[in-house]
Amino acid sequence: MWKIAVLALTLCAFALSQKTAMQRPDAPPLAAPGAHAVGVRTLQLTDPARARGLTVEVWYPARRAAGAAQPAVYKGVVGSVEFDLPGQALRDAAPEAGKFPLLVYSHGQPGSRYQSAYLMEHLASRGFVVAAIDHTGSLYRDLTQPAYVTSLVDRPLDILFVLGQVPKSLPSADGDTVGLIGYSYGGYSVLGAAGVGIERAGLEQYCQQAGNEGPCFLLPFLAQVEPQRGAQVVRPDPRVKAVFVIAPYGAPWYYGSLPRLEVPLFVAVGEEDDVATYARDGLEVYRRAGSKAKYLLTLAGARHNPFVVCPPEVRANPEDFERCWEPVWDKERLFDLARHFTAAFFQHHLKGEAQAGQYLEPSLPGFRPRAKVGIRLAAFAQ
């Protein structure tokens, strides 16, 4: 009986942390929720060109007089563990009038659309419509070995399809002013959707020097993916105005085409990442990108999972625990950083808010001096 009571208390504490994360005294300014109430709805979409079904969760600024709308509970999954994540958004609430920039989130591989639900709610409260995709074939329940290759084609196309469809279901979404957010494999996916293509010469050179490790698994399959996602056929989408990547995986795939990326770019990485390694992936994405404004957030001691939800249920399984936890950093603190920097980046580059842009300075304005430990921000602007 006592085990049930302890689990109940743990779950309550986790739910409470989702509600009060912005209450920490050391939270940076834009970690606080915005002025908008938040609604959420689920879309079932089918891309007829590929006969491909997608489930998409959409968070949006909502009317405060929401009537009978109830707070959402997200049915999440990490590895083999399913869990209920209490949310703050009101399920199917009436949208607020007006137009709001559209953000599209692409999860890791495997992953789910609820991987960073707290962040989606936060950005909606700050005046964005946010769509998170369940990439079919890249979920915990349906990932297969062949999907590691086919998703290189499918996932960027999922993003481009969804950013065209969401405004049809939610007219308050501005489909001509779009930002993309991608975690891990989703980092590749959003860069690909923004116009970065797979580039053979750079990958072959890297693999020759690095002994065919990691992303070099793609080499035998290049002829399969190049006709659709190769650097010679992929072009920038003018609707995409800014890109935020978290621990992007597979950078050698697109080393040679990164200089053609021109939209503002934010790269957030753990310095001790052992999946999308710091030197090979995040650092090189930042260095090689041709973006006229770009930022690199480095978290000392962090590994691959700084900004994803990790519910208490996964503690019963060490492998699932390692899919989402961080050995050094406090998750509540990390979530505040995610809220703050995504809000600063998109409010500045999609909404033109100069004050938000001040929080993109390497001196970390708005942080209490002792709260800057372990955080480095580099910025480049032409």
Q: What angle do CA 197, 148, 258 make, to 5 degrees?
A: 20
CATH architecture of the domain covering 2-381: 3-Layer(aba) Sandwich (3.40)
Question: What mean pLDDT do residues 156-174 have?
Answer: 98
Residues 6+ apart with CB under 8 A from 1: none
As a whole number of angstroms, the distance between CA 328 and CA 306 comes to 10
For 334-381, what is each residue's pLDDT tens digit?
Answer: 999 999 999 999 999 999 999 999 999 999 999 999 999 999 999 998
* Burial class of residue 132, CB neighbours in 10 A (0-12, 13-18, 19+): buried
pLDDT attached to residue 292: 95
Residue 274 tokens, joined: 């052992």
Is the pTM higher than 0.95?
Answer: no
For the cut 50, the answer to whether the pLDDT of residue 68 exceeds it is yes
The predicted pLDDT at position 144 comes to: 85
The one-letter amino acid code at 245 reads V
Residue 4 has pLDDT above 70, yes or no: no
Q: Is the pLDDT of residue 145 over 50?
A: yes
Q: Which long-range CB contacts under 8 A does 323-327 form with residues at least 24 apart?
A: 323/78, 323/79, 324/78, 326/270, 326/302, 327/303
Instruction: For the chain, give every domain's residue range.
Output: 2-381
| pLDDT on residue 64 | 80
Would you place residue 147 in the very low, low, confident or very high pLDDT band (cuts 50, 70, 90)?
confident
- Contact between 112 and 76 (Cβ < 8 Å): yes
